């Protein structure tokens, strides 16, 4: 057994047993971040904070929510919104948070794409990040089932139907997922379990992994500059903070993050108090009714682009396209054949690829909500084809890219 | 700093375009545009006659037989039947007329008395030629100038209408015979009382179910509970739909109830109370939370400046 001296302070006592001083040094005070970054590098911590808000508000909602097809709707819309003190506040925070978290995720992802932060040692950051994207998607979808409104029911119906695999007609699988022929009690209870237990656990695990994958390659910087972190850290510790290219995570990087978070929270709570409707679809305030199909069934805005990739094609082709679109971003580090880690603006054709991809995803998102008729269908089809064309072009144009 | 603002600008523009596309633009394309008439009922011509309330009262309780079907609490005229019986006879319980003068538009009322199916815009359901009569019999006149008589009836209804009507009363009289509002503890039989014995509670529930069966037969379907409709439909939809249901749901059996603008506002206020009760609390707490985060950001900015001193 190790030898323990009498500790003179709580800090020392903990350090003897947990090496907290080492942890603090490795994870915070000597976790070096490049100095040459902008506020987009705060998005990761903004995401972590938003997840925190979702977790806390979710715990409060969980105390009154009832996962029962008879009472779920009223437990949310009446009990929580009317009877529970500040229940409405927690619900609006949770609803707005679920929507805004995707906006920040997309900003965070496209930041990574723009600056090339997914390659040369940073592949695992990207892959764990995509894992988080998928886990958040599942979390959002399962949460959407819980109020048991019309959109819960019908979106649940439509999305689980996808698992029949088109012409494969795997209805057995669909029933297995639903626990019934149509969404019902078994369906609601299992999505409740996923939403409040399994998926949050997965997300927390993935966040830890994501942070872990950042530690060795360090985060990228605005110029994609590759420099010697040891050397920069030595300069900093010697007091040459002006010459050094790095800053410590704590307190210097955090000081800026916290300011960015403050501004973000102003916007966030503005939405919570004055503009929450965008995050809570009106159709879901009609109770679930299996006999009455809503006029328009569409997913929440953050799924629209992939939904639109499903829609314009024939049944089987649409499903295949949809399945590929779901996972293709995982492949980014391997389809980008260029060695360059630099902002897209300096990377020749990739610059156009980046903006084309961003605008294409935006167009797909617009079309995904519109009724699939006439000109919208045509635009949707073109945008979906462009999406795949861009992915096919990626390895070709990046292979030809000049080395910087 | 300058560069950061530029980047922020780009992110903000893309975010706003995204919002515009999935919210205002998508909704403008998804829902057909319906112009309202602002509860003016300009399609119904006013007769221009000045009504006499005293004569109106005689007609309402006499020749026009309104009190043969409707109760009027304001003049101590009880409803001839209770809600269940009325439901069984007419398919729906004729509402108490005490507040009708304030709740409904005068031109609409005149048209309603003359030709209920036409005023209520349910002629697709009721056609005397096919022997399908509206349950509210039309007023054929009491022997004099019918337009004058109708003006008298309307004048009477206006004279008894209360100066102040609660939002709940407005809902109960205008919508309550068809729509429940369970968050407001209202069923089609009115406010649900507190029962001491389970047996009485169950009896009441059975009475509601029986009434709803008749209503379903009359309307073709059970009108939806309106507890939280204020969040399920846009304000514009509710306004144009309530004014003229046919404009939004062609062929629907819900009548155009003929609310005055004031009546509409009261009904909406009630729907807002039951469906969006946190509105006042949001208004109170919102500014405080925003001020907190503005101060927080200010302090965070000073802290950041302090920590970054000497770094550039
Ligand atoms: C939703 C939960 C997520 C959390 C809490 C999170 C958190 C973080 C944090 C704290 C950082 C370091 C600071 C920064 O650069 O922002 C970071 C970096 C990064 N994240 Fe995430 N992230 C999440 C999701 C994602 C997703 C969905 C992706 C993309 C697939 C992703 C990809 C990356 C990449 C590539 C970096 C490195 C950036 C660089 O090196 O400059 N992350 N993340």
DSSP conformational letter for A287: B
A175: which 2 tokens? Answer: 């029933």
With a cut of 80, say whether residue A373 has pLDDT above it.
yes
Q: Provide mean pLDDT across the span A50-56.
A: 98
Distance of CA A195 to the CA centre of its chain: 15
ipTM of predicted complex: 0.95
With a cut of 70, say whether residue A112 has pLDDT above it.
yes
Supply φ then ψ for residue B192, to 5 degrees. -80, 120
CATH 1.10.760.10 fits B33-279, yes or no: yes
With a cut of 80, say whether residue A1 has pLDDT above it.
no
Q: Provide mean pLDDT across the span B248-267.
A: 95
How many distinct helices (H) and strands (E) make up chain B? 15, 2
pLDDT tens, residue by residue, A163-201: 999 899 999 999 999 999 999 999 999 999 999 999 999
Q: What is the pTM of this model?
A: 0.94
Ligand 1 centroid to residue A210 C-alpha, Å: 7
B140: which 2 tokens? Answer: 């054929």
pLDDT tens, residue by residue, A312-361: 898 899 999 999 999 999 999 999 999 999 999 999 999 999 999 999 99
Indicate the angle between helix axes A185-193 and A123-145, nearest 10 degrees: 140
Cis peptide before A384 (omega within 30 of 0): no
Looking at beta carbons, which residues of chain B come within 8 Å of A301?
18, 22
Query: Of the ranges A209-223, A305-319, B33-47, B293-307, which one carries the lowest mean pLDDT score?
Result: B33-47
Transcribe B28-61 into DSSP letters: HHHS------TT--TTSPP--PPP-HHHHHHHHH
Domain boundaries, chain B: 33-279
Ligand 1 centroid to residue A44 C-alpha, Å: 5
- Interface size A-B, in CB pairs within 8 Å, comes to 125
DSSP conformational letter for A312: T
Contact flag A273-B285 (C-beta cutoff 8 Å): yes
Supply φ then ψ for residue A225, to 5 degrees. -70, 135
pLDDT at B1: 64
Arithmetic mean of pLDDT over chain A: 96
For A78, nearest residue in chain B (alpha carbons): B183
Ligand 1 centroid to residue A197 C-alpha, Å: 23
The residue among B304, B305, B306 with the most chain A CBs within 10 A of its CB, best to mutate, is B304
Contact A99, A278 (CB under 8 A): yes
Q: Provide mean pLDDT across the span A82-104.
A: 97
pLDDT tens, residue by residue, B25-66: 999 998 888 888 889 998 998 888 999 999 999 999 998 889
What ligand 1 atom has the least distance to the C-alpha of A37?
Answer: 41
Among protein residues, the one with the nearest Cα to ligand 1's atom 32 is A129
Looking at beta carbons, which residues of chain A come within 8 Å of B216?
none
Supply φ then ψ for residue A249, to 5 degrees. -55, -50
Domains of chain A as residue ranges with CATH: 31-297 (1.20.810.10), 304-404 (no CATH)
């Amino acid at each position: 057994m190790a030898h323990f001296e009498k500790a003179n302070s709580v800090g020392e006592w903990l350090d003897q047993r947990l090496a907290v001083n080492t942890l603090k040094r490795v994870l915070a005070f000597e976790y070096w971040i490049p100095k040459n970054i902008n506020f987009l590098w705060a998005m990761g911590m903004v995401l972590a904070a938003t997840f925190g808000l979702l977790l806390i508000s979710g715990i409060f909602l969980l105390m009154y929510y009832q996962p029962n097809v008879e009472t779920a709707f009223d437990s949310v819309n009446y009990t929580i919104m009317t009877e529970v003190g500040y229940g409405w506040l927690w619900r609006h925070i949770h609803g707005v948070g679920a929507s805004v978290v995707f906006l920040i995720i997309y900003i965070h992802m496209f930041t990574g794409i723009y600056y090339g932060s997914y390659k040369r040692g940073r592949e695992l950051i990207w892959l764990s990040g995509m894992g988080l994207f998928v886990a958040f998607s599942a979390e959002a979808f399962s949460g959407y089932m819980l109020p048991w409104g019309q959109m819960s029911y019908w979106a649940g119906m439509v999305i689980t139907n996808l698992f029949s695999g088109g012409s494969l007609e795997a209805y057995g699988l669909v029933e297995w997922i639903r626990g019934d022929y149509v969404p019902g009690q078994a369906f609601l209870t299992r999505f409740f379990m996923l939403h409040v237990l399994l998926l949050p656990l997965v997300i927390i695990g993935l966040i830890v992994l994501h942070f872990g994958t950042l530690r060795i390659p360090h985060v990228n910087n605005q110029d994609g500059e590759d420099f010697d972190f040891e050397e920069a850290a030595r300069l900093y510790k010697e007091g040459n903070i002006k010459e050094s290219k790095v800053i410590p995570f704590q307190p210097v990087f955090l000081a800026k993050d916290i300011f960015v978070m403050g501004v973000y929270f102003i916007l966030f709570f503005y939405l919570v108090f004055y503009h929450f409707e965008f995050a809570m679809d009106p159709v879901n305030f009609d109770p679930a009714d299996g006999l009455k199909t809503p006029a328009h069934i569409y997913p929440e805005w953050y799924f629209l682009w992939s939904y639109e990739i499903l829609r314009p094609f024939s049944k089987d082709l649409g499903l295949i396209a949809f399945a590929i679109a779901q996972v293709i971003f995982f492949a980014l580090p391997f389809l980008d054949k260029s060695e360059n880690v630099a902002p897209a603006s300096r990377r020749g054709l990739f610059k156009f690829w980046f903006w084309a991809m961003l605008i294409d995803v935006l167009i797909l998102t617009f079309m995904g909500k519109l009724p699939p008729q006439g000109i919208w269908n045509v635009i949707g089809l073109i945008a979906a084809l462009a999406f795949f064309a861009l992915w096919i072009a990626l390895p070709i144009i990046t292979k030809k890219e000049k080395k910087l | 700093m300058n560069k950061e603002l530029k980047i922020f600008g780009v992110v903000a523009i893309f975010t706003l375009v995204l919002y515009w596309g999935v919210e205002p633009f998508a909704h403008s394309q998804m829902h057909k545009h319906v112009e309202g008439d602002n509860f003016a009922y300009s399609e119904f011509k006013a007769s221009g006659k000045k009504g006499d309330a005293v004569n109106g009262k005689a007609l309402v309780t006499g020749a026009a037989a309104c009190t043969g079907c409707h109760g009027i609490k304001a003049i101590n005229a009880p409803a001839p039947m209770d809600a269940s019986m009325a439901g069984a006879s007419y398919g729906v319980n004729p509402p108490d007329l005490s507040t009708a003068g304030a709740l409904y538009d005068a031109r609409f009322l005149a048209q309603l008395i003359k030709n209920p199916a036409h005023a209520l815009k349910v002629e697709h359901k009721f056609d005397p030629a096919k022997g399908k009569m509206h349950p509210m019999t039309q007023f054929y006149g009491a022997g004099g100038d019918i337009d004058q008589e109708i003006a008298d009836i309307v004048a009477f209804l206006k004279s008894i209408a209360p100066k102040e009507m609660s939002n709940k009363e407005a809902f109960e009289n205008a919508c309550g015979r068809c729509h429940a509002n369970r968050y407001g503890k209202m069923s089609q039989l009115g406010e649900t009382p507190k029962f001491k014995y389970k047996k009485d509670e169950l009896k009441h529930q059975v009475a509601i179910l029986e009434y709803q069966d008749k209503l379903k037969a009359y309307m073709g379907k059970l009108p939806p509970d309106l507890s939280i409709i204020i969040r399920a439909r846009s304000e514009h939809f509710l306004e144009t739909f309530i004014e003229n249901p046919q404009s939004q749901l062609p062929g629907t059996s819900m009548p155009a109830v003929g609310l005055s603008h004031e009546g509409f506002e009261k009904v909406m206020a009630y729907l807002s109370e039951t469906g969006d009760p946190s509105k006042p609390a949001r208004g109170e707490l919102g500014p405080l939370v925003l001020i907190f985060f503005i101060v927080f950001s200010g302090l965070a900015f000073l802290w950041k400046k302090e920590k970054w001193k000497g770094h550039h």
